[in-house]
Chains A and B, each alone.
Chain A
Amino acid sequence: MGDADELIVSIWRGRETGGLVEYRVPARANQTVLDVVTEVQRRHEPSLAYRFACRVGVCGSCAMTVNGTPRWTCRTHVRKVAADRRLTIEPLRNMPRIKDLACDMNEFFGKWRRAGGVFRGSRTRDDPPMAVDPQSRNRQAANAAIECINCAVCYSACDVVAARPDYLGPAALNRAWTLINDVRHAGRSATLAQATADGGCASCHTLGSCAQHCPVGISPTASIAGLKRLSLLSFLRRTPE
């Protein structure tokens, strides 16, 4: 155990193979986990690789595994997660590791495309903007899921992704759900077809880890349940796939 004004921080160094290296940094008031990682890099380990940009919970780039739990580190206060002043910081799960705390997110974002997550407008700049009723059921459903910051915390928390690498994952399916509920999106049926295909919403076991860990309070579980409902309805209505 370190001094009362000191944190003992174990950080993953290496790629797929590597190990935890222990550092001691001063405990400060209102210190976030990202502050700790930055302090380690600035004062102890200049070669430590990690990602961050905005530091205020908007960009979604600083997610890491903190004491075994995926978290956005810029908005995670040390005192809330390290009562005993010990921190173990590792990269996110379910993605290839590049170096230290940085993961390769290519496949994570590739799955957004595979889930039909690319918006396709139906109007040109010469047309008047489409009217969207903010009170409509579709818009309310989209609003509930739209604030995703692409941090991959849900993807890292999901045990189905761990068991089945071709599963699109909560973030990509949540994105598909927002588009299917967006009246401006011209490819809604195509998005539904992609989100319900092999590795899509039917692979979800409703474990709920995504909703539990989402830092912005979205429930991808609810979005995926919506996709499952639409999948069943489209089957019953014999909508072509």
Chain B
Amino acid sequence: MSERRLFALQRLSALLLGPLVIIHLVLILYAVRDGLTAAEILARTRGSALWAAYYGAFVLAAAIHAPIGLRNVLIEWTPLPRRAVDLSMIVFCAALAALGMRAVIAVVGG
């Protein structure tokens, strides 16, 4: 993937992550104001297309954003060959996406 594309994807995913993170944090503060149980969370999220879309987008944006940033750190701070950095970041991206989607499916599915 070209540097221009990676740069654009990192910036655009950051643009998306900004509001998503803020809403996520505000939501946590609001939801736990008088205790919270797994049953309460699942009651709200199960079968909700809105939460599936919200956290699905969150996971995808994070899975795109984090590996591009980490790639820059590895290029600058380690002597790893570029190919090794790129391949490990593809794996990292896939792992973030898979683990994140697994969590999303767990709270909205079933």
Contacts and interface: CB of A to CB of B under 8 A. Distances in A.
A203 B6 CA distance: 11
A232 B3 contact: no
Contacts of A231: 4, 7-8
Interface string A45-64: 00000000000000000000
A218 B89 CA distance: 37
A198 B13 CA distance: 20
Nearest to A232: B8
Contacts of A160: 76
Nearest to A200: B3
Interface in A211-241: 228, 231-232, 234-236, 241
B3 A196 contact: yes
A234 B4 CA distance: 9
A130 interface: no
B37 interface: no
B72 A241 contact: no
A217 to B, nearest CB: 28
Interface majority SS on A: helix, strand, loop or mixed?
A: helix
Contact of B4 (A163, A199, A202, A203): A202
Contacts of A44: none
Interface in B1-22: 2-8, 11
Nearest to B4: A196
Nearest to A203: B72
Contacts, number: 34
B5 A235 contact: yes
B39 to A, nearest CB: 44
A235 B76 contact: no
B8 A241 contact: no
Interface residues of B, number: 12
B77 interface: yes
Nearest to B76: A163
A228 to B, nearest CB: 7
Interface in B77-104: 77
Contacts of B77: 163
Contacts of B11: 232
B75 interface: yes
A235 B72 contact: no
A196 to B, nearest CB: 5
Nearest to B2: A241
Contacts of B5: 235
Interface in A70-93: none
Nearest to A159: B76
A197 B3 contact: yes
Contacts of B72: 203
A228 B3 contact: no
B109 to A, nearest CB: 35
Contacts of B7: 196, 202, 228, 231-232, 235
Contact of B8 (A200, A203, A235): A235
A203 B10 CA distance: 12
B6 A202 contact: yes
Nearest to B68: A202
B75 A235 contact: no
Contacts of A228: 7
B8 A236 contact: yes
Nearest to B6: A202
